[in-house]
């Protein structure tokens, strides 16, 4: 029985968003509003595969309508590419709730809105966790729609994948850092190498755990003093100010906070972190190109951060199996992207965008696309 008190309004706002500079053939943009709870959410569906799309939901207080649209348009485009490169049969989408602290009632309305998108528009949007959205909030949304991932399955005698994707994303980033270090610095181990981690949230903190175990020396920054102190106490990390972290003189910088952070101040030979949309000018891959000119190896964001998506897709399978898929997938794709980038003289982001487009158009495997270019 539907709860009649949950009563959001879903609008198709594609036409009004289509003049935004980040709009690039998105299929639909929806707005969900709910007067009773105060929910204001937008969902951008960039592509559908077999009628489905997947992408997390974030919460943020946007300074303008245009900034809100920019975020969902960029993030959803990235999800299409991320799924394609990860070999998953899912279209790309992303949602953002424009609020600092979404409530349970807002999440119920959000979940109902997702169900209405399916019944009214015939499109499946599957939601999951992103910045600021907890598992507890997702559980509220799931009361209204089955299309929610990232809720921990009931554990049996073996540990199952699912729930918070952060640690899985971190594991993929950790694997990617090792691939980049081997490629760019010729080293098999991270022992003694300096890694600067920006953002110590779900992904960043978990990444620090993996790096610390492997013997890396950590430099860290976060806007949240408690999170910063925890990393200092637990890992002996060196704290620096948020504006200093990406220009540190280290071996690797790992942006694990918000997007649009790559700039000319980066000095480390490797950039490899989880943040989505790390470039400011993603359409032209301007930052990726200028990093390549400076011989800085950039691990494209949607390739290195696909571990969370993979864990969500394989939710319910054993954790060990899923961790194996993540490391194999990230290692294989990054390794090939670095190789092709060198062969063709193209920056890594342009190259992965091209590979993703080939995969989407030709519906062949990554290996087929890679080999065709490698022998060309
Ligand atoms: N969670 C996932 O599985 C996942 C998957 C793929 C990509 N990502 C991306 O990775 C990034 C981090 O995700 P998360 O889930 O860890 O988010 P989170 O909200 O848990 O953590 C983000 C952290 O960054 C800090 N922060 C924000 N601005 C900062 C700044 N200027 N300097 C230093 N610290 C700053 C915040 O205080 C917070 O501690 C995001 O860009 C997200 O889109 C996350």
Q: Based on the number of CB atoms within 10 Å of its own CB, is 74 exposed (0-12), middle (13-18) or buried (19 or more)?
A: buried
Nearby residues of 346 by Cβ (< 8 Å), 6 or more positions away: 292, 340, 354
Q: Which residue has the tokens 């199996």?
A: 321
Distance CA 71, CA 173 (A): 22
DSSP string of 257-312, one letter each residue: S-SS---TT--SSEE----SS--SSTTTTHHHHHHHHTT-EE--HHHHTTHHHHHH
Separation of 256 CA from ligand 1 center, angstroms? 5
| Topology, domain 9-142 | Rossmann fold (3.40.50)
Q: Would the CATH topology of 9-142 be identical to that of 166-375? A: yes
State the DSSP code for 246: G
Please give the distance, rounded to the nearest whole angstrom, from the Cα atom of residue 80 to the centre of ligand 1. Answer: 20
- Locate 53 and state its tokens: 């799309």
How far apart are the CA of 251 and the centre of ligand 1, in A?
21
Probe residue for ligand 1, chosen from 81, 202, 205, 282 as the CB with the greatest number of ligand atoms within 8 Å: 202
Residue nearest atom 36 of ligand 1, based on CA coordinates: 199
Determine the atom of ligand 1 nearest the C-alpha atom of 170.
3
pTM: predicted TM-score of the whole model, two decimal places: 0.93
Compute the distance between CA of residue 38 and CA of residue 102 in angstroms, rounded to an integer.
Answer: 9
CATH architecture of the domain covering 166-375: 3-Layer(aba) Sandwich (3.40)
Token reading at 330: 């990230």
Cβ–Cβ under 8 Å, residues 376 and 343: no
CA 65 / ligand 1 centre spacing (Å): 22
For residues 269 and 135, give the distance between their C-alpha atoms in angstroms, rounded to a whole number. Answer: 36
What is the best residue among 130, 170, 210, 323 to mutate for testing ligand 1's pocket, by most ligand atoms within 8 Å of CB? 130
Q: Which two tokens stand for residue 6?
A: 């949950």
CA 308 to ligand 1: nearest atom: 3
For 170, list phi and psi in degrees, rounded to 5: -60, -40
Separation CA 247–CA 229 (nearest Å):
21
Per residue of the chain (376 residues), give pLDDT as tens: 677 888 999 999 999 999 999 999 999 999 999 999 999 999 999 999 999 999 999 999 999 999 999 999 999 999 999 999 999 999 999 999 999 999 999 999 999 999 999 999 999 999 999 989 999 999 999 999 999 999 988 877 888 888 889 999 999 999 999 999 999 999 999 999 999 999 999 999 999 999 999 999 999 999 999 999 999 999 999 999 999 999 999 999 999 999 999 999 999 999 999 999 999 999 899 999 999 999 999 999 999 999 999 999 999 899 999 999 999 999 999 999 999 999 999 999 999 999 999 999 888 889 999 999 989 8
CA distance 372 to 251: 33
Tell me the two tokens of residue 121: 């528009």
What pLDDT does residue 5 have? 84
pLDDT of residue 33: 98
Active site residue 28: no
Separation between Cα atoms, residue 246 and residue 22, nearest integer Å:
25
Angle, to 10 degrees, between the axis of helix 319-344 and the axis of helix 366-375?
Answer: 20
**What is the 7 CA–ligand 1 centroid distance (Å)?**
31
Provide the residue ranges of all domains of the chain, joining segments of one domain with +: 9-142, 166-375
Q: Which of 28, 82, 94, 178 is catalytic?
A: 94
Yes or no: say if 41 and 110 are a contact pair by the CB < 8 Å rule: yes
Strand arrangement, sheet containing 297-298 = 238-239, 217-221, 194-198, 252-255, 270-271, 297-298
Residue 9's CB is within 10 A of a number of other CB atoms, namely 13
| Ligand 1: residue whose CA is nearest its atom 10 | 275
Which atom belonging to ligand 1 lies closest to the Cα atom of 258? Answer: 41
| Atom 1 of ligand 1, nearest CA residue | 166
Query: Are the CB atoms for 102 and 130 separated by under 8 Å?
Result: no
Q: Are β-strands 39-45 and 28-34 bridged in parallel, bridged antiparallel, or unpaired?
A: antiparallel
Burial class (CB in 10 A: 0-12, 13-18, 19+), 3: exposed
| 277 CA closest ligand 1 atom index | 41
8 Å CB contact between 140 and 102: no
- Give residues (CB < 6 A) around ligand 1: 130-132, 165-166, 169, 198-204, 221-224, 227, 242, 256-259, 274-276, 305, 308
Q: How far apart are the C-alpha atoms of 128 and 145, rounded to whole Å?
A: 12
- Give the pLDDT of residue 364: 86
């Amino acid at each position: 029985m539907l709860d009649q008190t949950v009563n959001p309004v879903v609008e198709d706002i594609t036409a009004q968003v289509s003049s935004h500079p980040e709009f690039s053939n998105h299929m639909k943009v929806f707005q969900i509003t709910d007067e009773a709870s105060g929910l204001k959410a937008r969902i951008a569906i960039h592509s559908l595969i077999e009628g489905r799309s997947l992408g997390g939901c974030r919460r943020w207080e946007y300074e303008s309508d245009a900034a809100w649209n920019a975020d969902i348009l960029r993030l959803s485009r990235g999800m299409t590419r991320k799924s394609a490169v990860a070999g998953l049969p899912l279209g790309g989408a992303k949602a953002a709730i424009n609020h600092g602290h979404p409530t349970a009632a807002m999440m119920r309305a959000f979940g109902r809105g997702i169900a209405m998108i399916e019944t009214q528009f015939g499109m499946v949007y599957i939601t999951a966790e992103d910045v600021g959205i907890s598992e507890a909030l997702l559980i509220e949304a799931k009361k209204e729609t089955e299309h929610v991932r990232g809720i921990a399955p009931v554990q049996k005698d073996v540990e199952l994948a699912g729930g918070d994707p952060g640690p899985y994303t971190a594991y993929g980033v950790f694997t990617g850092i090792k691939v980049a270090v081997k490629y760019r610095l010729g080293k098999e181990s991270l022992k003694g190498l300096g890694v600067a981690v920006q953002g110590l949230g779900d992904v960043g903190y978990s990444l620090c755990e993996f790096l610390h175990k492997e013997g890396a020396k950590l430099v860290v920054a976060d806007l949240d003093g408690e999170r910063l102190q925890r990393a200092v106490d637990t890992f002996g990390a060196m704290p620096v100010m948020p504006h200093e972290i990406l220009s540190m003189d280290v071996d690797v910088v790992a942006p694990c906070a918000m997007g649009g952070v790559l700039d000319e101040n980066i000095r480390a030979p490797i950039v490899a972190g989880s943040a989505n949309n790390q470039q400011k000018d993603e359409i032209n891959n301007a930052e990726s190109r200028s990093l390549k000119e400076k011989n800085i190896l950039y691990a494209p964001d949607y390739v290195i951060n696909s571990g969370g998506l993979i864990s969500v897709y394989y939710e319910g399978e054993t954790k060990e199996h899923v961790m194996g898929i993540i490391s194999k997938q990230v290692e294989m794709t990054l390794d090939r992207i670095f190789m092709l980038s060198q062969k063709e003289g193209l920056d890594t982001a342009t190259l992965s965008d091209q590979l993703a487009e080939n995969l989407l158009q030709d519906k062949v495997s990554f290996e087929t696309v890679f080999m065709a270019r490698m022998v060309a």
